[in-house]
Amino acid sequence: MPKRRLEHGSVEAEVPAAGLISLTDVMGSLVKVFVLTIPFIVESGIFISRSMAAKLNRPIQQKQVKTDVKVSIHMRADGIIELNKKPVTQEQLEDLVPKLLARSIEKNALLSADPEVVYENVVQMIDFLKSKGAGDVLIMKRGG
Amino acid sequence: MAKAKGGEGEVAQAVFNLANIFAFIFITLIIASKQMFQSTSVEVEVPKARVIEADLEQSLAVSIKKDKTVYLKDKQVSLQELVQLIKSAQEEYKAKNPDAELGEQLVVIRADKSVDWQTVLNTIDAVKRGGSKRITLAVVKKT
Q: Sorting pLDDT into bands at 50, 70 and 90, what band is A121?
A: very high
Give the model's pLDDT for residue B18. 78
Same domain flag for B112 and B133:
yes
Residues B31 and B57 in one domain: no
Let me know whether B135 and B95 are in one domain: yes
How far does the CA of residue B50 sit from the closest CA of chain A (Å)?
A: 7
Instruction: For chain A, give the mean pLDDT.
Output: 77
The confidence score (pLDDT) of residue A54 equals: 42
- In the prediction, which pLDDT does A4 show? 45
ipTM over 0.85: no
For residue B131, what is the domain's CATH number? 3.30.420.270
Domain ranges of chain A: 2-41, 53-139
Establish if B53 belongs to a structural domain. yes
Domain boundaries A53-139, corresponding CATH code:
3.30.420.270
In a domain, B43, yes or no: no
Task: Give the helix ranges, DSSP H, for B1-143.
Answer: 2-37, 79-96, 117-129
A139 touches chain B (CB under 8 A): yes
Contact B51 A130 (CB under 8 A): yes
Top pLDDT among B71 and B40 is at: B71
**B94 and B53 together in one domain:** yes
One domain, residues B8 and B30: yes
Q: Please check the confidence at residue A133 and state whether its pLDDT lies above 70.
A: yes
SS (HEC) of chain A: CHHHHHHHCCHHHHHHHHHHHHHHHHHHHHHHHHHHHHHHHCEEEEECCCCCHHHCCCCECHHHHCCCCCEEEEECCCCCEEECCEEECHHHHHHHHHHHHHHCCCCEEEEEECCCCEHHHHHHHHHHHHHCCCCEEEECCECC
Q: Which comes out higher in pLDDT, residue A24 or A144?
A: A24
At B66-124, the pLDDT tens digits run: 999 999 988 999 999 999 999 999 998 888 887 776 778 889 999 999 999 999 999 99
> Judged by CB atoms within 8 Å, which residues 92-121 of A form the interface with B?
113-120
pLDDT of B110: 92
CB B1 to CB A10 under 8 A? yes
What is the mean predicted confidence (pLDDT) over B51-67? 84
From chain B, pick out residues whose CB is under 8 angstroms from the CB of A124.
47, 49
Mean pLDDT along residues A40-67:
59
Residue contact B8–A40, C-beta within 8 A: no
Shortest alpha-carbon distance between residue A67 and chain B (Å): 23
Q: Is residue B85 part of a domain?
A: yes
Helix intervals (H) in B38-78: none
Given this model, what pLDDT does residue A19 score?
Answer: 65
B82 vs A35 pLDDT, higher one: B82
Provide the pLDDT confidence category of residue B37 given band limits of 50, 70 and 90.
low
Q: Are residues B19 and B55 in the same domain?
A: no
Of A24-38, B46-60, B94-108, B127-141, the range with the highest mean pLDDT is B127-141
Residues B57 and B124 occupy one common structural domain: yes
User: Mean pLDDT in chain B?
Assistant: 83
Its domain, for residue B22, covers 1-37
Count of domains in chain B? 2
Which is higher by pLDDT, B118 or B15?
A: B118
Indicate if B20 and B81 belong to the same structural domain. Answer: no
Mean pLDDT value across residues A59-73: 66
A21 contacts in B (CB within 8 Å)?
A: 15
Exposure b/e, A89-121, CB count within 10 A at least 16 = b: eeeebeebbeebbeebeebbbbbbbeeebbbbb
Residues B29 and B86 in one domain: no
Residue A11: pLDDT over 70: no
Q: Give yes or no for residue A58 having a pLDDT over 70.
A: no
Residue contact B11–A8, C-beta within 8 A: no
Residue B49: closest CA among A117, A118, A133, A43: A43
Q: How far apart are CA A127 and CA B90, in angstroms?
A: 28
User: Which positions 111-130 of B are in contact with A (Cβ < 8 Å)?
Assistant: 111-121, 124-125, 128-129
Claim to verify: residue B91 and residue B134 sit in the same structural domain: yes
pLDDT at B118: 92
What is the pLDDT at residue B35? 64
**How would you list the strands of the sheet with A136-139, edge to edge?**
A86-88, A81-83, A71-75, A108-113, A136-139
Of residues A2 and B88, which shows the higher confidence score? B88
B residues 28..47 contacting A (CB < 8 A): 29-30, 33-34, 37-38, 46-47
pLDDT tier, B25 (very low <50, low <70, confident <90, very high otherwise): confident
Q: Which residues does chain B have within 8 Å of residue A132's beta carbon, measured at their own beta carbons? A: none
